[in-house]
Structures are given as C-alpha cells and as structure tokens.
Amino acid sequence: DAGVTQSPTHLIKTRGQHVTLRCSPISGHKSVSWYQQVLGQGPQFIFQYYEKEERGRGNFPDRFSARQFPNYSSELNVNALLLGDSALYLCASSPTADRGRGGELFFGEGSRLTVL
C-alpha cells in the first residue's frame, strides 16, 4: 500500500516568492495535517484538515494557508517567503478525526524548502 506522498521533495526559492507543497494521504485517510520541522527541532503543527474543513491551526502567520480537495489530497501554500521559512515541511494523514485517538499520524518523507 502506498504511504503518504509529498511533492516536491526538495525546492529552492528566493525571498518574497510563493511556494505550493502537495500531499496525498494514505488511501482511506480523510484527515491531513501539516507540520514544519526546523533543523534541530521537533515538528511544529501548522494545519489540520478533515473532510475538506480546517479543524486546527497552529501559531503561524497568515502567509501560510492550506486546503484539502475532494479526493482528500492537500496543498500547503506559503506567500512572501522569508529566510526563516527554510525547513522540512511534513504532511501526515490519519484515518480518523476521533478525538479519543487524536495524534496517531502517518507521515510522508517531507518537502525540504530552502529560501535564499
């Protein structure tokens, strides 16, 4: 079975540009979350979507946005890139939005963004 797939795997942008990262969840998973991992830190929560609705948002500026499509895939968009946005962006899917089992995540390999 295919796991969570993310694209692109690596990309380089310059300050002020825009970036779109894509994620396909595991088949049957309806929840998709996005995390940012800066070198030397643990992943930081950005967004969670379930059934195409935003269910949670982390402490990130409005330059960060996301959406989920009818096939449950998702995009993360970042506008007006800053040097500090350089990080590994992780997508994770989950089969349920059950609060009792919240946090059980299946991660993709990530998209490594470098902002110059």
Contact residues toward other proteins (CB under 8 A) are 3-4, 31, 33, 35, 40-45, 48, 50, 55-56, 58, 90, 92, 94, 97, 99-110
77: DSSP letter: E
Which of 1, 115, 25, 99 has its CA nearest to residue 55?
99
Q: How far is the CB of 103 from other proteins (least distance, A)?
A: 3
Q: How far is the CB of 98 from other proteins (least distance, A)?
A: 9
Q: Which is nearer to other proteins, 59 or 71 (CB)?
A: 59
Q: Which is nearer to other proteins, 72 or 81 (CB)?
A: 72
Q: Which is nearer to other proteins, 53 or 62 (CB)?
A: 53
Q: Which is nearer to other proteins, 75 or 109 (CB)?
A: 109
Cβ count within 10 A of residue 96? 13
Q: How far is the CB of 66 from other proteins (least distance, A)?
A: 13
Beta-strand pair 10-13/111-115: parallel
Which of 1, 2, 3 has its CA nearest to residue 106?
3
- Cβ neighbours of residue 39 closer than 8 Å, sequence gap 6 or more: 87
